[in-house]
Structure 1
Amino acid sequence: MRQLTSSPCVFTPVGTLLGLSLMVAPNAHAEFIADSKATLEARNFYFNRDFRQEGARDKAEEWAQGFLLRMESGYTTGTVGFGLDALGMAGFKLDSGGGTAGTNLLPPDLSGGSQDQYSELGLTAKVRISNSTLKLGTLQIKDPVVSSNDTRLLPATFRGGLLNVQEVDRLKLTAGQFTQINVVDSTDYQDFTANRIGGSSDRFQFAGGDYQFLPNLTAQYRYGQLENIYQQNYLGFVHTLDLGAGQSLKSDVRYSRSTEDGNFRDLDNQAFGALFTYSVAGHGLGLGYQRMSGDDPFPYIGRSDPYLVNFVQIGDFANVDERSWQARYDYNFTALGLPGLTFMTRYISGDNVQRTAPGEGKEWERNTDIAYVVQDGTFKGLGVKWRNASVRSNFGNDLDENRLIVSYTLGLW
């Protein structure tokens, strides 16, 4: 078993934080303790991917159990408040037959299989002044230019700093710098790469803001830079129109412009996406369109999640010149007296892809999710989700995939 790991650079801000907190008056620790909370999440994850194209391996199939311990302190009292968070994660192999490893549930071993167990510990120091916070250490984030992947047994994390400022009404500012990434099937931090682009970098920086023009209209702008590889400008709008009688129309429009940074090779990509969702009485009907323009695919940090409307269970539909359409249907069974039960299905079709072989590249993906969360009683919060996907392509892999996830989160205090 790999030992618990944590970066030495994390302990520097943590040690500074603890030293400062010890210098304040004893009663300043009251909120630090009183506002603290801890949860233990258990994830049981079965993953099966069948490869359907000629000449491919048969399948990737594994079953594993994961545990995530999240501890968050409050802040010490005073003009400047200090706090400390911890994230402990452990994964255990339950089954991985001969030749079926490679699901990204577990770290690989030297024999081509998967490790039996692994674990890690991340610490985050935090400081609060008024309505603004600064966090240093182990970070998870969901943002238009950088997003942690959380689609396997344990989530990916970044190492670095994150600043959030909310001092002006309706305006949220954010900025950050990350130096490394720890991907979902590893306990080791590593430098960044760019998906489909390549290169290597030890610094990602970003900044921007969200402004709420109206209660139902929010605009977002971000600038992101993967040093010496790419820089990216993002602009997005989210609007919800109340149509009355329990009906609404949500519009989610996104645009990104990406170019090279430093001495990296020439890079040019424009990504446009829009998703419109009509909702009524538990039903949701969505229609989406996504278009890639320029000489390159959409760049983003490797093994992270791109912020694209057609980034789905397996594909991102972000190849050179690709255009793709999405049709999606959601249903919440609360409308039928079955709270906690939800259903989603969607179909995405992409074409106009540049490929090395003659002819136009085409692909499609179909997803179905069925999930249930127990609403009350002894097992309140117990969740079961089945995720199914099929992918067909004339330039990539043909896949059929199933994921079965059973999760339960226990509040410790």
Structure 2
Amino acid sequence: MLKTRISLLALGLMAATQAMANDQAASKGFVEDSTASLLLRNAYIKRDKKHDTNDQMQWGQGFIGKISSGFTQGTVGVGVEGFGLYAVRLDGGTGHNEGGGIDFFKRGDSGNAQHDISRGGAAVKFRVSNTVLKYGDQMPSLPVLQYDDARLLPESFTGTSINSKEIDGLELNAARFTREARKSTEQRDTALKSINVFGGTYKFAPNLTTSLYTSDVEDVLKKHYLGVNYVHAIAKDQSLTLDFNGYKSDIDKKYVEKAGLHGDSNTIWSLAATYAFGPHSVTIAHQRSTGSTGYQYGWYQDRGGVGDGGSTIYLANSYWSDFNAEDERSWQIGYGLDFGAFGVPGLTYSVAYVRGDNINTHGLGEGTEREIFNQFKYVVQEGPAKDLRVKVRSSFLRASNNLRDDSVQYADDGNELRIFVEYPISIF
């Protein structure tokens, strides 16, 4: 009976595979399918801290070039891809402390930030049917390993990855990376030993998608992720979207001691419901963290961090604060508006209010925090500056006094402003 079930499953997988178009068979060639692009990014962040810490500010101009060849024709296609990064500091030298949350330009022992940084990377890739194997420098984008591209220059990782789309609706990913390049410097070694990743996403229906992933960061933690997204069409211009994201982390005892954590486990999840009607959207979300410590992610191991990517937090209530402290519960109400309906296509606005409470301060009383987030985005629709993108966002964060205590050091009051201007250029 078991053999029969396995055989039926194998036949089903073969049938699904045969129904998919073969990407490699459709290859036009190494040169013919090649692409190259350059992104010009001018970025500014300022954090006005309200208590014992100095203000934080950095401003820079970045150049992000990417090139990707096609695959050679045949059963096994071979190709290459690479990137080149350069950034020059416009402001943010002596007088503004480093601030891990900004990190445009790493500061040396003297306290001065670098004047400019450059870094490059390359990878070789192989494709059979709809499965691609890559080795080299990459920018992985997965729920348990998401590179940070929300600052001036992006992070990158070095290792091997496999992406497979052989079955209609199913995407599988597996990877092992052994080096990480910090976004604010030219060096590649951040003390990461290895991170192994496996998981996939399956689209059960056009409006229902589920993702399961797991990761193992050597000597740091094991992390498991579940994501479910469902979109229900109510009418022609109305929809309801439900989005669930959750992580379960088991932390290595060595890292618990190194990072000064109170415990070795965390479970955090969020559920967001968004009702969209015409140009408007309203979001209500709840997020909850449980376990013996808060949710751990990102930063760099040579600085006491995890090393699994600075954006590895697919949660609803993540803005300036991530609302991810030990035992924290948070609620959000948000609103979005598309000005295209009012004659200004390309302009959008979003605002959100998030409040968190029940933070465990281990003897200092309940910790609370709240944030107001605002963001304008504009994309030029036509003319010489077509596709130019401007993003202006601000946050106002306020936290209870006990969260600034030396034994907690979780949050401080502050106002944040970010201005990003990006212009993408397609070279070929």
1:91 matched to 2:87: yes
Q: 2:31 corresponds to which residue? A: 33
Amino acid at match of 2:157: F
C-alpha distance in 2, partners of 1:142/1:398? 31
Q: Which amino acid aligns with 2:299?
A: G
2:9 is aligned to: none
Which shows bigger deviation, 94-103 or 291-300?
94-103
Alpha-carbon distance in structure 2 between the residues aligned to 1:98 and 1:29: 52
Letter in structure 1 aligned against 2:338: N
Mean CA deviation greater in 215-224 or 134-143: 134-143
Q: Offset of 1:337 from its aligned partner?
A: 2.1
**What is aligned with 2:196?**
205
Asked if residue 66 in structure 1 is aligned to residue 62 in structure 2, the reply is yes
The residue identity in structure 2 corresponding to 1:226 is V
The one-letter amino acid paired with 1:37 is: T
Between stretches 256-265 and 131-140, larger displacement belongs to: 256-265
Equivalent residue, structure 2, for 1:79: 75
Identify the residue that residue 271 of structure 2 maps to in structure 1: 274
Deviation at 1:97, TM superposition (A): 5.0
Aligned pairs for 1:36-185 within 5 A: 36-53=34-51, 55-57=52-54, 59-102=55-98, 103-185=102-184
Q: Could you say if the C-alpha distance between residues 260 and 401 of structure 1 is closer, same or farther in structure 2, counting changes exceeding 3 Å? A: closer
Describe how 1:349-360 pairs up with structure 2 within 5 A.
349-356=355-362, 358-360=364-366
Aligned to 1:384: 390
Hey, what does 2:320 align to over in structure 1?
A: 314
After superposition, residues 181-330 of structure 1 pair within 5 angstroms as: 181-191=180-190, 201-261=192-252, 267-302=264-299, 304-330=310-336
Query: Normalized against structure 1, the TM-score is what?
Result: 0.87
8 Å Cα contact 1:157-1:183 kept in structure 2: yes
**Post-superposition offset of 1:356:** 4.3
Aligned to 1:406: 421
Secondary structure, in 3 states, of the residue corresponding to 1:34?
coil
Tell me, yes or no, if the aligned pair for 2:137 and 2:159 is still in contact at 8 Å: yes
- TM (norm. structure 2) is 0.84
Deviations 1:142-192 (A, max 9, x none): 211111111111011111121111111211111111112212212212346
- Classify 1:349/1:306 alpha carbon distance in 2 versus 1 (closer, same or farther; 3 Å): farther
Alpha carbons 1:276, 1:286 under 8 Å: kept: yes
The farther-off stretch of 278-287 and 352-361 is 352-361
Residue 175 of structure 1 aligns with an amino acid whose one-letter code is A
The alpha carbon displacement at 1:382 in A equals 1.1
Distance 1:398 1:190 in 2: 33
Q: Which amino acid aligns with 2:426?
A: G
Structure 2 residue runs of 5 or longer lacking an equivalent are 1-25, 257-262, 301-309, 404-410
Distance in 2 of aligned mates of 1:108 and 1:98: 9
**Structure 2: distance between partners of 1:223 and 1:328:** 30
| 1:329 aligned partner, one-letter code | Y
Cα deviation code 1:322-363 (max 9, x no counterpart): 111111111111111211111111111111111145210111
Q: Post-superposition shift, 1:314?
A: 1.7
- 3-state DSSP class of the match of 1:190? coil
1:252 and 1:283 map into 2 onto residues whose CA distance is 18
CA distance in 2, matches of 1:384, 1:297: 34
Report if aligned partners of 1:225, 1:261 keep a CA contact under 8 Å in 2.
Answer: no
TM superposition shift of 1:225: 0.9
For 1:322 and 1:311, locate their aligned partners in 2 and report how far apart those are by CA, in whole Å: 11
1:300 deviation in Å?
2.2
Q: Give the residue type in structure 2 aligned to 1:223.
A: T
Give the letter for the 2:36 counterpart: A
CA contact (8 A) 1:275 1:309 kept: no
Partners of 1:146 and 1:311 lie apart in 2 by 19
**Are the equivalent residues in 1 in contact too, given 2:117–2:184 (CA < 8 A)?**
no
Query: Partner residue of 1:370?
Result: 376
Q: Is contact 1:135-1:163 (8 Å) kept?
A: yes
Mapped partners of 1:263, 1:90: distance in 2:
36
Q: Given the superposition, is the C-alpha separation of residues 300 and 56 from structure 1 closer, same or farther in structure 2, using an over 3 Å criterion?
A: closer
Cα distance change on mapping 1:336 and 1:177 into 2, 3 Å: same
Structure 1 gap ranges (5+): 1-27, 193-200
How far does residue 214 in structure 1 lie from its aligned partner after superposition?
1.1
Offset, 1:311: 4.8
Q: Match of 2:166, SS?
A: strand
Letter in 2 for 1:361: G
Moved more, 61-70 or 254-263: 254-263
Give the letter aligned to residue 149 of structure 2.
D
- Which digits, 9 at most, give the CA deviation of each residue in 1:110-147, with x for residues without a partner? 32121111101111111111011111111112211111
Q: 1:335 to 1:143 in 2, by over 3 A?
A: same
Tell me the SS of whatever aligns to 1:334: helix
Per-residue deviation, 1:29:
10
Q: What's the secondary structure of 1:179's corresponding residue?
A: strand
Amino acid at match of 2:33: D
Tell me the amino acid that sits aligned with residue 76 of structure 2. V
Q: Secondary structure at the match of 1:31?
A: coil
Q: Which runs of 4+ in 1 moved over 6 A?
A: none
